[in-house]
Copies of this chain bind each other. A is one copy, B any other.
C-alpha cells in the first residue's frame, strides 16, 4: 500500500474556450439555480436561459475574438499546474498529479473527479482558483465536487481549502505586482491610490451571509498594511443584469477619482488570479483608456497568471 504520489484538484467556474462555446457556457451558467435563481421555476428558467445565452453570446463574441477566440483562463491554469507539479517534485521528491474541474464548461467537475477516485494518493488537496470565498463561485465548485464523490469518495482522507485570500506568499506576489506598477507610473507608492477592483455579485448574496466582501476587506487591509499607499478603495466590476449588485462600481469609482483630482492610480484586479475578459477588455481597454483621457496617471497591476512566485504560493497554500 506504499504510495508516493499526491494529487491536487483545482476547480473554477470555467469559461468558453472557443466562440462556439460561449452560448453553451452561458446556458450552463444561467440554468444553475443555486447561483442565479430567476424565481420562475426550473423549466421556465431553462427557456429564459436559452434566450439570454443566445443574445448575450452574440454580444460578447467580439470580446473573445479579440482575446484570440476564447477565454485565456484554461491554458494559463494548465501551465500554472504544470509548473506547480515540477516544483513540488523538486521540493518534496513526490509526484503531484493535478486535474482541473469546471462548473460550466469542459473539463466538467463530473468528468474529472474520476481521476481522483481511481488513483491511490498519499495527500489529496482540493481547492478553487478563487482566493476569496463566495457561495456563487467556490461554493458552486465544492457543491458539485461533494455531490460527485458522495457515492464513491477518493481513496483516503483529503484536505479541503475553501479559500486562501490571507496567504502571505500569495499577498506578497500581489504586493510585488503593485510595486512594479508604481515604476510604470513613475511615482512612489506613498503618492498612489490603489483601486482594488473585485468581480461584483448580486447584493442579495450579502443577505444570505456570503463571506466574499469580508474576505475582500480583510485581504485589502493585509495589502495596504504592507504597501502603505497614499489612499485606497474597493470597487466592483462586471455587473450583469438589472438587479442591485455590490457597490460602488469600478466605473463610478473611477469617475470619483477623476472628479476629485486624484493623480496616480493603480488598479489591482483583486479577485482575479489570471487574465480574463474582465482584466484585459474591461479594465485595460474600457476603464483605463477612459481614465487616461480624463487625465489620470493610471495602470493596472499585472495578473499572477502562471508566474514563478504564484507557483510557489500555490504550494504554500497546499501544504500550510
Q: Is A290 an interface residue (CB 8 A)?
A: no
**Other contacts beyond A139-B153, A158-B162, A160-B160: 19, CB < 8 A:** A1-B166, A133-B153, A135-B151, A138-B153, A142-B146, A142-B150, A143-B147, A149-B162, A151-B208, A151-B209, A152-B210, A152-B211, A153-B162, A153-B163, A153-B211, A154-B162, A157-B159, A157-B161, A159-B160
27 contacts between A and B (CB under 8 A): A1-B166, A133-B153, A135-B150, A135-B151, A138-B153, A139-B151, A142-B146, A142-B150, A142-B153, A143-B146, A143-B147, A143-B150, A149-B162, A151-B209, A151-B210, A152-B209, A152-B210, A152-B211, A153-B163, A154-B162, A156-B162, A157-B159, A157-B161, A157-B162, A158-B162, A159-B160, A160-B160
Chain B residue contacts of A211, Cβ below 8 A = 152-153
Residue of B nearest to A135 (CB): B151
Residue of B nearest to A126 (CB): B160
For the complex formed, measure the closest distance between the CB of A149 and the CB atoms of chain B, giving whole angstroms. 8
Residue of B nearest to A163 (CB): B153
Most buried by B among A133, A135, A162, A166: A162
Select one of B159, B162, B166, B209 contacting A159, CB under 8 A.
Answer: B159
Q: How far is the CA of A160 from the CA of B150 in the complex (A)?
A: 13
For the complex formed, measure the closest distance between the CB of A316 and the CB atoms of chain B, giving whole angstroms. 12
Chain B residue contacts of A208, Cβ below 8 A = 151
For the complex formed, measure the closest distance between the CB of A154 and the CB atoms of chain B, giving whole angstroms. 7
Chain B residue contacts of A166, Cβ below 8 A = 1
A160 touches B162 (CB 8 A): no
Q: How far is the CA of A159 from the CA of B133 in the complex (A)?
A: 18
Chain B residue contacts of A157, Cβ below 8 A = 159-162
Chain B residue contacts of A138, Cβ below 8 A = 153
Q: How far is the CA of A139 from the CA of B143 in the complex (A)?
A: 14
Chain B residue contacts of A163, Cβ below 8 A = 153
Q: How far is the CA of A160 from the CA of B158 in the complex (A)?
A: 5
